Chains A and B, each alone.
Chain A
Amino acid sequence: MRNNFVVFILILLLMTGLTYSQDLVLKGGTILTIAKGVIENGTVVIKDGKITRFGKNIPIPSGVQVIDVNGKYVMPGIIDSHSHIALTDVNEATDPVTPQIWMREALEPSSDSIKKTLAGGVTMVKTMHGSANIIGGVNVTIKLKYNEPVENMIVRGVRQQIKMALGENPKRVYGGKGHIPSTRMGNAYVMRNAFIKAQEYKEKWDQYERQKQEGKKDIKPPKKDLKMETLKMVLEKKLGIDCHVYRADEIVWIINFCKEWDLDLLQLSHCIDGYKVPDVIAGADVCYGGWVDWWGFKEEAYDGCPYGFDMMHKAGVRIVINSDSPVEGRYLYLNAAKVLKYNDIPEEEVLKMITLNPAHALEMEHRAGSIEKGKDGDIAVFDKYPLDSTSKCLMTIVEGKIYFDYAKESVTVKGAGYE
C-alpha cells in the first residue's frame, strides 16, 4: 500500500514536471518549417521537448498547454554560431596558443545577455573565445535556457569546436608586445608548430596505451599536458574547428592546413573575402560564417562586399549569418533580410542562413534549424513574416519551454519605471 502510494506520487511528479516544462502546442499560425515549406494555419506539437507532429488539422492532445498563434509566424529558433554572450571572460590574450582554455568554465547562466538575446528569437548559440590567439579556447554550444544549471544549457552529444584565428588580431596582440607572431608567416609557424608538438604528444600516449593493452609491465605514462590534451582531441577529431579569417589567401591557407593535418574545419568566421574563393570553400565543405554588410573597419576587412552572397550561393557554399555582437544577435532576422537587398537569393534560402545552416555548422542539423518531426522543440514566434523588417519576436521556446514572452516582458506592459 505504502509502496503504491510512493509510486503514484512519483508518477504524478514526473507527469507534472513534463507537462509543465516540455509539452506545448502552437495552434493556427503560419509555419515556416524551413526544410518542408510553409504551412498556413498549421499546428506544432511539442512533447518531452521534441517536435512530435506538425501540419494542418493536427488533433490537439489533451492536458497540454495550447498557445493560439493565429495570424502569427512560427519558425525554428534562430541559431547564432558565432557569439560571445553569457561569458564572464572571452580572451585569454597572454599566449598565442591556449587550447587548455574551455569557455564552458566562463559560462554565466544568469547573464542578462541570454535574456536579451532570447528576445530576438534566438534559441542556440556557440559562444566563443576571442580572436587574440592563433589557437584560442574551446567554444561552447549552448541552448539559451536562461538561469538553468550549466549542465542543462550545454548541448550534449555533439562536438564542441576550438577557436582559431589568423590575420591582423594575433599579429597586433603579440607583435605589439614584441612577441611572435607579428606577421602572417609567424601566424602560420605558430599554428604548425603547435600541431607538430601535439602530434608527438599523441604518438607518445598512443604508444603508452598500446603497450598497456599488450599487458606490458613497468611502463610509465607520459606527462600530462593540458594544452596538448586538447590539441590531441582536435587531431582525433573529437573537437571541430572554427577559424576566424578575413582574407582570401588565409581562407585558402587554413583550408589547406586542415586538409594536410586531416582536421575537421567546420566554420570560417568573419569570412570577409569568402566571395573571392567560393569554389574553395564549397569544395572543403566548410560553412561560411560572417556578416552581411560589415566592411572597412580595419585593413583586412576592406574588401567586405554585401553582393558577394550571390557568388557564394551559386557556388554551393553553406552560408551562415552570425552576430559576433550581443547587439546584432538580437536582430539576426533583420540582418538576414539585408541579403535580399544586395543579392538575388530566394527568401527560403536566406532564412536557412540563420537556422538550418548554422545548425549544420554546429553539427546539430539532426536536432535543430527546422520544424521537423523528432527535432528539438526550439521555436520562435513572430508577429509578422520575419524577413519583414518591421516584425518582432513575440515568443521564444527552447525544448518546449517558454523562455521569452513579449506579452510579459515588454516595456509597454511593464512600464519604464519613471512615469
Chain B
Amino acid sequence: MNRKIFVFLIIGLFCISLVYSYDGPKILIKNATVVPVEGNPMNNTDVLIEKGKIVKIGRELTPPSSAHIIDASGKYVYPGMVALMTGVGVTGYPGAGSDINETGVSTPQMDPYDAINPEDPCIKVTRLGGVTTVMTASGTRSPINGKSIIMNLEGRLAQDLVIKRYAAQVFNMGAKREEKYPSTLPGVVSFIEEKLNKVKQYLQKKENQEKDKKEETENGKKSFSIDLEMEALIPVIKGEVPALFITNDEVSIRNALKIIDEYNLKGIIRASKGVLKYAPILSEKNIPVIWSGTSGIPGRWESFDLNYHTAAVLAEKGVLFAFDPGGGRLESRNVRNLPVPASLSVAYGLDEKKALEALTINPAKIIGIGQMVGSIKEGKTANLVVWSGSPLQMSSRAFHVIINGKIIPMKSIQTRLRDQYKN
C-alpha cells in the first residue's frame, strides 16, 4: 500500500515537473524602465513572468524562489514588436529553399503552416532584432493568394510556433497578368467578385446539403463535393477572417473598399501610395491600414516627404495602422528593420508614442491578437525585449529577448559567423 502511494507520488511529481518545464521558468526583470505602449512608461519597475505570461508589473516585487532574475537597471523593457506581411519561416533559404507564391490566379487554400520550417535562420535573426511575433503570408503575386498564419518566434516544431492558423486571406489588386485574364485592374476586381459570388453559391449548396444529408444518403445521390479553394474563402465571406487587400495606388484602394463594402468583408488595406485621400473613410469605417510606403519615393510632382509624412496624417485622422517590414514584398531576412519606417515617420512628424503603437499593439489588433500580445500588461503573453534604448533608434541594442515567457538565447546564423571570424 505504502509502496503504491510512493509510486503515485513519484509519478505525480514527474507530471508536475513536466507541466512546469512546459510552461517555462519564472523570470523577474528588475529595475527597468518599462514602456508598456498602452499606458505611460514606468521607471524602476519590475516585471514578473510565470508560465509564459506577464503576471505582475510593479515596484520592488519579491522574486519567487527559483526565479531567474534579469537586472535591467538603466535599460528599457518594450513589448516585442509585431510584424505583418512577412515570409519568415517559409523563405529563409534562397532559390529552391523558398516556398512562397504558388502558381495560379486563385490559390486561397495555400496555407503557410504546411511549409513552415522551424529551422529557417530568419526566425532567429528576426527575434534578435526585437520582433517577437510575425504574420507570415503564403504569397502576394496573385489576385487571390492564400492564408496567413501568426507565429510567436519561439518553438521547436511548427505547432509550437503558430498561435493562429488563419489570420487573414491575402488579395492583391495589382496582380494583373500578361495577356491573360485578368490583365487589367477592372479585370482583377471582377475576378475577385466572381470568386466571392461562387463562394456564396458554394456555401448555400453546402448548407443545403448538410440539411438534406440524410435524404441524399438514402437516395444514394451525390450532389456535393468538397472544393478546398471555396472552403478557404468561406470564413472570409462570413466576415470571420479578414480580407487583406494589397493595393498600389488610389484607384486600387477605391476598388478594394468597394469589394469590402459590397460583400461585407472584414477588410484590411495594405497601401503603398494614395492612402491619405481615403484616411477619413478608413477611420470612419474602422478599416485598418498596413502602411508599406514610408520609404517609397514620391512622384516627380509630389513633395519629397509625402511618404515619410503619411503615417503622421494617418495617426491624426484616427486610422488604425501598422508599419510594413517590406516595401512591397514579403520581407523575411530583415524583418528586424521594422522600426526603420517608424523612425523615418517620426522624423517627419509622427508622434513617438504613436510610432511605437504602430510597431506593437496596432499590428496585433489588426490581426486579432491584441488581447494576447503587443503591449506589457498583466495576463498577456510574455513577449518582451530588454533594450538599451528606444527601438526607434537604429543604434539601440536588444540585450534580452523573452518569447512565450522563455529566455531566448541571443544566437543566430550571424552571431555564429561573428564568433567564427572574430579572431
A297 within 8 A of B: yes
Given contacts A296-B92, A297-B333, contact A327 B295 (CB under 8 A): yes
Is B201 close to A, CB under 8 A? Answer: no
Q: Is the CB of B349 within 8 A of A412?
A: yes
Per-residue contact bits, chain B 14-47, to A (CB 8 Å; 1 contact, 0 not): 0000000000000000000000000000000000
How far is B334's CA from A293's CA once the two chains are assembled, in angstroms? 8
A299 within 8 A of B: yes
| A411/B395 contact (C-beta < 8 A), A298-B94, A305-B414 known | no
Is there contact, CB below 8 Å, between B303 and A411? yes
A334 near B395 with CB under 8 A, answer no
Is A388 part of the contact surface with B, judged by Cβ < 8 Å? yes
Q: Please tell me if the beta carbons of B393 and A412 are within 8 angstroms of each other in the complex.
A: no
Instruction: Give A288 to B322 CA distance when docked, in angstroms.
Output: 36
Asked if residues A116 and B421 are in contact (CB atoms below 8 Å), the reply is: no
Is A341's beta carbon under 8 Å from chain B?
A: yes
A49 to B51, CA, bound (A): 66
Q: Which A residue's beta carbon lies closest to that of B277? A: A418
CB distance from A84 to the nearest CB of B (A): 13
- How far is B94's CA from A389's CA once the two chains are assembled, in angstroms? 31
Answer whether residue A319 sits at the interface, using C-beta atoms and an 8 A cutoff: no
Contact (Cβ within 8 A) A390 B346: yes
CA distance A418 to B339 in the complex (A): 29
Cβ < 8 Å to A, chain B residues 264-282: 276-277
Q: Counting CB contacts under 8 A, is A410 at the interface?
A: yes
- Chain A positions within 8 Å of B340 at CB level: 334
Q: Tell me the bound Cα distance from A297 to B98 in angstroms.
A: 11
- Of the candidates A305, A338, A404, the one whose C-beta lies within 8 Å of that of B394 is A338
Tell whether A293 pairs with B337 under 8 Å between CB atoms, given A307-B414, A307-B418, A416-B276: yes
Task: Report the bound CA distance from A328 to B334 in whole Å.
Answer: 14
**Interface residue B70 (Cβ < 8 Å from any Cβ of A):** no
Task: Find chain B residues with CB under 8 A from A404 CB.
Answer: 304
Residue from the list B298, B339, B415 in contact with A116, Cβ < 8 A: B298
B235 close to chain A: CB less than 8 A: no
Asked if A337 lies at the interface with its beta carbon under 8 angstroms from chain B, I say: yes
State whether B395 touches A387 (Cβ < 8 A): yes
A72 within 8 A of B: no
Q: A315 CB to closest chain B CB, in angstroms?
A: 11
Interface size class of A (residues with CB under 8 A): 35 or more
Do the beta carbons of B302 and A417 come within 8 Å of each other?
A: yes
Residues of chain B contacted by A389 (CB below 8 angstroms): 339, 343, 346-347, 392-395
Q: Are A116 and B122 in touch, CB under 8 angstroms? A: no
Q: How far apart sit A340 and B349, CA to CA, in the bound complex (Å)? A: 25
Does B348 touch A at the CB level, under 8 Å? yes
Cross-chain contact B395 with A327 (CB below 8 angstroms)? no
- B94 A119 Cβ-Cβ under 8 A: no
- Contact in complex: A392, B414 (CB < 8 Å): no
A326 to B296, CA, bound (A): 9
**A335 vs B347: C-alpha distance when bound (angstroms):** 14
Q: Bits for A96-133, please: 1 = Cβ < 8 Å to B, else 0.
A: 00000000000000001101100100000000000000
Q: Contacts A293-B337, A387-B395: A299 and B306 contacting too (C-beta < 8 A)?
A: no
| Across-interface contacts of A305 in B (CB, < 8 A) | 414, 417-418, 421
Question: Which B residues fall within an 8 A CB radius of A?
Answer: 92, 94-95, 121-122, 125, 276-277, 295-300, 302-306, 308-309, 327, 332-334, 336-337, 339-340, 343-344, 346-349, 352, 392-397, 414-415, 417-418, 421-422
Binding site for B on A (CB under 8 A): 112-113, 115-116, 119, 275-276, 293-299, 301-308, 310-311, 326-328, 330-331, 334-335, 337-338, 340-342, 387-392, 404, 406, 409-412, 414, 416-418
- If A310-B422, A410-B304 are given as contacts, then 5 extra A-B residue pairs at C-beta distance below 8 Å, sorted by A number, are A112-B300, A295-B125, A296-B122, A296-B332, A416-B302
A–B complex contacts, Cβ < 8 Å, 30 sampled: A119-B304, A294-B333, A295-B333, A296-B333, A297-B94, A299-B95, A302-B94, A304-B414, A305-B421, A308-B417, A330-B295, A330-B297, A334-B340, A341-B396, A388-B393, A389-B339, A389-B343, A389-B346, A389-B347, A390-B346, A392-B347, A392-B348, A404-B304, A409-B304, A410-B303, A411-B302, A411-B305, A411-B306, A412-B349, A416-B302
